[in-house]
Structure 1
Amino acid sequence: MKSREVSHFFLGRVSEHSKYNSFLEERYGFDDDIPLSKFCESQGEVFIDHDFMEIGSRDQESSLETFFKPYSYSEHWLHDVIKTAEEFELLDANVLLFLSKEEIDRPRTVKGDGFELIYMGEFSYPT
């Protein structure tokens, strides 16, 4: 069992939640060469194991700290992610997505219709 996890973190601004949800939605079929979701495709991946990914939306009135608290191991990473959000001018972010580093080789920022998902970097934390 690993004693540390490294995850890719994304924060975003979403104005069209239905379009963002469609972007994340998994599409199952019989062709293993077709990306599982538009998110997978945007990251240059065919498959991302969503068991190693957490996503969420923020209530407008909550702080980032309050928003992050329910997520896995947040007590170890939330202050670093908030500091980075300040540097990226993303204190108004209303979505969070993070996943194990092994799931994406070259993570990147994505801008779609009604949303933007900004790659914040890798964060390491004890598990």
Structure 2
Amino acid sequence: MEPNNLCNTLITYGSYAPGGSNHHLFSDLPGEWVQGKILATSIATDEIGPGEGDIIEAWTITFSDCTAEMFTPEWEVQEKLLYDRWQELDRRIGAGWGRDSRRWWPSGSAPTVGQNGMIVVNIYLPLKHFPYLTSVEEPLKPFRQETLDIWVGYFDEERCGNYFEEQYDDDDAPLSEFAGDQEESFIDHDFMEIGFQPSPQSIAELVAGHSWSDEYANELAERVQQSNIPRFNCFVFITAGKVQSPRSVSKEGVELHYMGQFTIRT
């Protein structure tokens, strides 16, 4: 799983939260610490496991020197600052940890998915309970490089919209039909893009105008041709690692082909 190196907020808990014995690792970060909660399985003070059975006290800090808007000159400077900061924080926390994203809610709010001040930001998790995470001991991918999982599919227009539509009225159900088919309960839409055109003449036309399309369009077209996919009018990409086991889907009204990972320069 690829950690989010452009996130500007950190979640801490247990002895790493304000007042804890290990908080000195993070105490010099610029910004204000805010008390709140996450949903997880409680194991020990500094150990949480997969699942969301318990409400656990957790604190966040949003870096006060990293609040620039995207696509501004200030954002370009901030990208490098964040990359270097996460590299340093990974070094500080050391072996036995991986970095991932998790939902957080402020104190006094009900932990309802998508509501009540919920944010999805970076957190350190113990590898012995989350062995699929990338260890912080592994070097970060090169700055300004990203890996995407990409699918190409064919839908009726209404079916495409329904398939990716997010539903927040049932906490026990996957966030969308797409998430459920990928065996995920939640996929953060901030890390994905979806495109639909009724009758595209080519992959290049289908992906035109989407982020980094000039980086992956040709290779995607080659893979679609090699896979003998006869028709397409929809595609979706997600930052690699946000779906644990990407897969193709074939069922009534849904043709969705997983085309693999694509490395692009951001």
Q: What TM-score comes out, normalization by structure 2 length?
A: 0.44
Find the counterpart in structure 2 of residue 81 from structure 1.
220
| Paired position in structure 1 for 2:93 | none
**Cα offset for 1:96?**
0.7
1:53 and 1:61 mapped to 2: Cα distance?
A: 21
The superposition leaves residues 57-115 of structure 1 with CA deviations (integer Å, 9 ceiling, x where unpaired) of 12425322122221111111111101101111126311111111121000111123222
Give the RMSD, CA atoms, in angstroms. 1.7
Match of 1:70 in 2: 209
- Which deviates the most, 62-71 or 4-13? 62-71
The percent identity for this pair of structures is 31
Is 1:17 aligned to residue 157 of structure 2? yes
- Where in structure 2 are there 5+ consecutive unaligned residues? 1-78, 80-142
Distance 1:70 1:91, change over 3 A: farther
Which of 173, 178, 186 pairs up with 1:34?
173
- Return the letter of the residue paired with 1:19: R
Q: Report the Cα distance in structure 2 between the residues aligned to 1:68 and 1:17, rounded to whole angstroms.
A: 16
* Segment drifting more, 58-67 vs 5-14: 58-67
Residue matched to 2:253: 114
Which consecutive unaligned segments of at least 5 residues does structure 1 have? none
The amino acid of 2:209's aligned partner reads P
Shift of 1:13: 1.6
* Letter aligned with residue 12 of structure 1: G
Distance 1:12 1:5, change over 3 A: same
Query: Which residue number corresponds to residue 4 of structure 1?
Result: 145
Q: Show the counterpart of 2:184.
A: 45
Mapped partners of 1:81, 1:36: distance in 2: 27
Secondary structure in 1 matching 2:147 = strand
Which of 42-51 and 1-10 deviates more?
Answer: 1-10
Q: Which has the larger radius of gyration?
A: 2
Cα distance, 1:52 vs. partner? 1.0
Greater RCO structure (CA 8 Å; 6+ sep): 1
Q: Deviations over 1:27-80 (max 9, x none)?
A: 00362x421011111101110001111111124253221222211111111111
Aligned residue pairs total 125
Equivalent residue, structure 1, for 2:262: 123
Q: Say if 2:148 and 2:237, in contact at 8 Å, map to a contact too.
A: yes
| Aligned equivalents of 2:234, 2:170: Cα separation in 1 | 31
